[in-house]
Structure 1
């Protein structure tokens, strides 16, 4: 059902696309005003008048430290604080700038005539442009994918440069004028284009080779968008076409009433298309049939996107609509066992996939799937609500909340048969709490009451923390099994047999689930089916630690072995650094550094090349570091310390025996489980102890902080799970400026 839940009149029609940051929605109008809305309450928070001079489609790079960058036709740049709309800084570059992107801890501006300049991100100072593209070309668009800078010119030329040294990888002249480019984020590594003749074609990013070309539309089309193995494009004549991303083979086509100039909006199983007549169509991805259509807004230029099941739609009259969408009914599949062979790098990998009578994962409640192509503070916050270990793929351990300073009550407790090593996690938008113990018992509890909703028995011990998204909870056991459970019922969705025992905690990103085995192999499986997307052996030795992800890199290390960085889209190794990692360390990621614990102390490395920035004598424990914008927190058998994240200098220490329970930061607080004292709560700026809660046994698992910091779930190694409720007891005001960025790049 398409139901308009709120309307707000703006000053003009849309002048660009939506973007999202810090639980907020941003849109520019043709008059040059930037509007900011609350994503949850659908209310206007602030607006910033750019006096009509700033080019509407130049709202770029809302990626770094909560800053929105905007450009005008003359090359003037204005930066605005994303949260309150206050002017941060402005700069005139005396040239027409096409856009700004961040890469490898640097900020780049590209001029319309093909020149590039490196800028100081916090101030924009000293932009010195150098010619990159051949003279005389006009840049239509550009983006950076991994190390590749892709530039598209108005005349249809494509140039790909190595951004590390600006060397040209390849260039290619394409026929007819082109629309914007779209990058296929799979191991196939394709660039998709739609030209003015309606031809859609794919080039291989590695070398520019044309993989396929098909005349899918009668004329110009929109940008190409992707979902799973299929891609979608709309023609200006009102057609929408679905095709196979890797072959271009058409799957279906449908016709809409009006002209379509904006690409379809796809999120989870929802797909919405809007035409210039004000009609909105709810399209089924499987066959292209419109399950519902409704005239929502006024005719004209429109902008739209989907977030959390809500369509954000700005119509031609400048009315902002918030439209609630109803998901398609779930489909039930028959129980069957299939055997397939996946060939990667000329090696056949035999696998068995078990499916049961359950709704397909695409039809389940999917409010926690991470898309790193859109990863910003909003997705960090969403995953800080506890759907995987340490709150996010970057494993930073930072949770949005108020940092409540006093224990109020124990709401409930639950007893498992064995000790708990895995962190408790939330699913279904926080309704279900998933607990796993070391005897293989996995429970789904009602978060509010602790009442058991379901129970699943794995074939062996579960040590790693489950990851929840797409309606399933994914985890492994110590008999080489990897499972996906329906989090509503506890039924088995699928099961995968790995090459070794699974001690690691899973990560779910972009419909893929990542984990590693104790044999040194990293897997990326399709979240819906459990089939292999890629696998890579990174070490011959044992490997217990779990991976961490930042941007397009996945980082993983072996016991007292090296730290390895892989391309998370295809598993190709980017670099390796020989470190004596502690047995259970997990990489903790920020934009500037990757932090890991070694037998000699914590080490900070550059994410791009693994270069060591600093070492510390602290951080020899098995619990991974936690991050705030100001500090990195480390624990060991004697103490917790807070270090300057840029230099490794000690800021404070707190003496206590800590073990495997990693610190978690929320507001002014940092929490961790201990040996002998249950959970302790410290002021994260000073290290002063504010409260503690005694548990029956030592706390080995990382605690779960959720509900804006108002609740903590603690599981001890005796198998008792506690739900603690907190309250505020006074306020803390600290003015330490941020030192590192926890905003992952696009």
Structure 2
């Protein structure tokens, strides 16, 4: 297979927009990253691009390509791993060149997880793969039979991954043998695309489902500890698809697409507080602040009480799961990657390398890996926000 690679060092392109206030009212720049462009006229130094690699560029007449799988990184072999819509898993070296390829039978919905040099790959073909992160060699695979849709979680000798059909699978890290599974019946109406990645704490796995329930399961055998309905009655868009997050005091946070954000007692599922803001699908907890993303907005809440601290409007755009790095909140959106001040919600930069960004970036210290919807993988260095 012939691959076109582009590797440019220390590039800061004209796809940056600075000083954007409120709802990102500044001009957006779009372009094909294969072609050089002059440096931005604004003296910005928030980040710089080390290299980019063209992994799965849009095909002729392909409309609105989307890459939904977040990249990952193996620090030992210095290999970035990207899963793309053409069904390939790729390992990319520190020079931006592809080191290895692994072909699967379908596109990917979610990114991989790297632990101890092994990359766990959730296949859209219904197979969970364990590959050597440095070489791409297959260690084992488990045939789940359902399209896998979450980044795998590795905990206490098990790999946990959820499917698009509302099944949570647990297999053994050593050989991929089945350990247990838990399934709920999806609702009869429309659901939101995606699935909830389980959160494992102190032997309990917390996970949401498309029928509007969040469930606490024993990580040992999948037994139910408690379950809680968050979306009320109805049959459409009940999804609890956000990955749950938990604070140091054992308070659990999760979203219902229909009903809003919920804070729950982790040991019982009792509701501590909730909002009435629908359409939220992503959560990030940093200190005492809970960041939420979804349809047309990015919000920040005081985690203890649910008080709204700020809201950043996005108009018609959707925001996906954010990450936090070097003092900046990085929010992938259907239009660009936003760099927000976490205290105020002010947008410092909106960067669109072409096609927008759906997959959450992967943060490895000051280095961040970004997969654009046009199938380009970027390695960028963050300098952060001063002051």
Q: Which TM-score band applies after superposition, normalised by the shorter structure?
A: 0.5 to 0.7
Q: Distance in 2 between matches of 1:674 and 1:539?
A: 32
Q: Distance in 2 between matches of 1:384 and 1:607?
A: 30
1:400-432 CA distance string (max 9 Å, x none): xxxxx96353221211111111110124xx132
| SS of residue matched to 2:95 | strand
Residue 342 of structure 2 is matched in structure 1 by 645
* 550-559 vs 487-496, greater mean Cα deviation: 550-559
| Residue 114 of structure 2, aligned match among 400, 404, 426 | 426
1:488-519 CA distance string (max 9 Å, x none): 11100112233448821111111111111101
Higher-Rg member (1/2)? 1
Q: CA deviation at 1:609?
A: 1.1
Alignment of 1:256-267 (within 5 A): none
Q: CA deviation at 1:621?
A: 2.7
Alignment of 1:104-183 (within 5 A): none
For the 8 Å contact 2:297–2:319, the answer to whether it is kept is no
For the 8 Å contact 1:548–1:586, the answer to whether it is kept is no
Residue 468 of structure 1 is matched in structure 2 by 154
Q: Distance in 2 between matches of 1:450 and 1:493?
A: 25
| Residue 333 of structure 2, aligned match among 624, 632, 636 | 636
Q: Distance in 1 between matches of 2:289 and 2:382?
A: 20
Q: Does 1:510 align with 2:202?
A: yes
**Structure 2 runs not aligned, ≥5 long:** 1-71, 76-92, 188-193, 233-237
Residue 435 of structure 1 is matched in structure 2 by 121
Q: Distance in 2 between matches of 1:475 and 1:606?
A: 30
Distance 1:529 1:406, change over 3 A: closer
Distance 1:384 1:577, change over 3 A: farther
Q: Distance in 1 between matches of 2:167 and 2:241?
A: 15
Q: Distance in 2 between matches of 1:587 and 1:735?
A: 22
Q: Distance in 2 between matches of 1:494 and 1:677?
A: 35
Q: Does 1:606 align with 2:302?
A: yes
| Residue 257 of structure 2, aligned match among 550, 556, 559 | 559
For the 8 Å contact 1:621–1:659, the answer to whether it is kept is no
- Normalising by structure 2, what TM-score? 0.68
Q: Distance in 1 between matches of 2:96 and 2:161?
A: 33
Q: Distance in 2 between matches of 1:664 and 1:627?
A: 10
Q: Distance in 1 between matches of 2:301 and 2:107?
A: 34
Q: CA deviation at 1:592?
A: 2.8
| Residue 684 of structure 1, aligned match among 373, 382, 385 | 382
Q: Distance in 1 between matches of 2:325 and 2:291?
A: 13
Q: Distance in 1 between matches of 2:111 and 2:119?
A: 10
For the 8 Å contact 2:328–2:385, the answer to whether it is kept is no
- Larger relative contact order (C-alpha < 8 A, sep ≥ 6)? 2
For the 8 Å contact 1:536–1:571, the answer to whether it is kept is yes
| SS of residue matched to 1:613 | strand
For the 8 Å contact 1:639–1:654, the answer to whether it is kept is yes
Q: CA deviation at 1:545?
A: 2.6
Q: Distance in 1 between matches of 2:145 and 2:295?
A: 33
Q: CA deviation at 1:624?
A: 1.0
Q: Distance in 1 between matches of 2:362 and 2:151?
A: 15
Residue 627 of structure 1 is matched in structure 2 by 324
Q: Distance in 2 between matches of 1:438 and 1:508?
A: 23
Distance 1:643 1:735, change over 3 A: closer
Q: Does 1:588 align with 2:284?
A: yes
| Residue 138 of structure 2, aligned match among 442, 452, 457 | 452
Q: CA deviation at 1:480?
A: 3.6
Q: CA deviation at 1:468?
A: 0.7
Q: Distance in 1 between matches of 2:140 and 2:368?
A: 32
Residue 359 of structure 1 is matched in structure 2 by none
Residue 570 of structure 1 is matched in structure 2 by 268
Q: CA deviation at 1:618?
A: 4.1
| SS of residue matched to 1:468 | strand
For the 8 Å contact 2:325–2:363, the answer to whether it is kept is yes
Q: CA deviation at 1:475?
A: 1.7
Residue 615 of structure 1 is matched in structure 2 by 311
Residue 221 of structure 2 is matched in structure 1 by 529
1:440-461 CA distance string (max 9 Å, x none): 1111112232111111111321
- Normalising by structure 1, what TM-score? 0.36
Q: CA deviation at 1:547?
A: 1.8
| SS of residue matched to 1:660 | coil
Q: Distance in 1 between matches of 2:345 and 2:231?
A: 29
Residue 73 of structure 1 is matched in structure 2 by none
Residue 410 of structure 1 is matched in structure 2 by 98
Q: CA deviation at 1:469?
A: 0.9
Q: Distance in 2 between matches of 1:625 and 1:636?
A: 9
Runs of 4+ with >4 A deviation: 383-386
Q: Distance in 2 between matches of 1:542 and 1:469?
A: 25
1:360-401 CA distance string (max 9 Å, x none): xxxxxxxxxxxxxxxxxxxxxxx9979xxxxxxxxxxxxxxx
Q: CA deviation at 1:526?
A: 1.2
Q: Distance in 1 between matches of 2:345 and 2:165?
A: 40
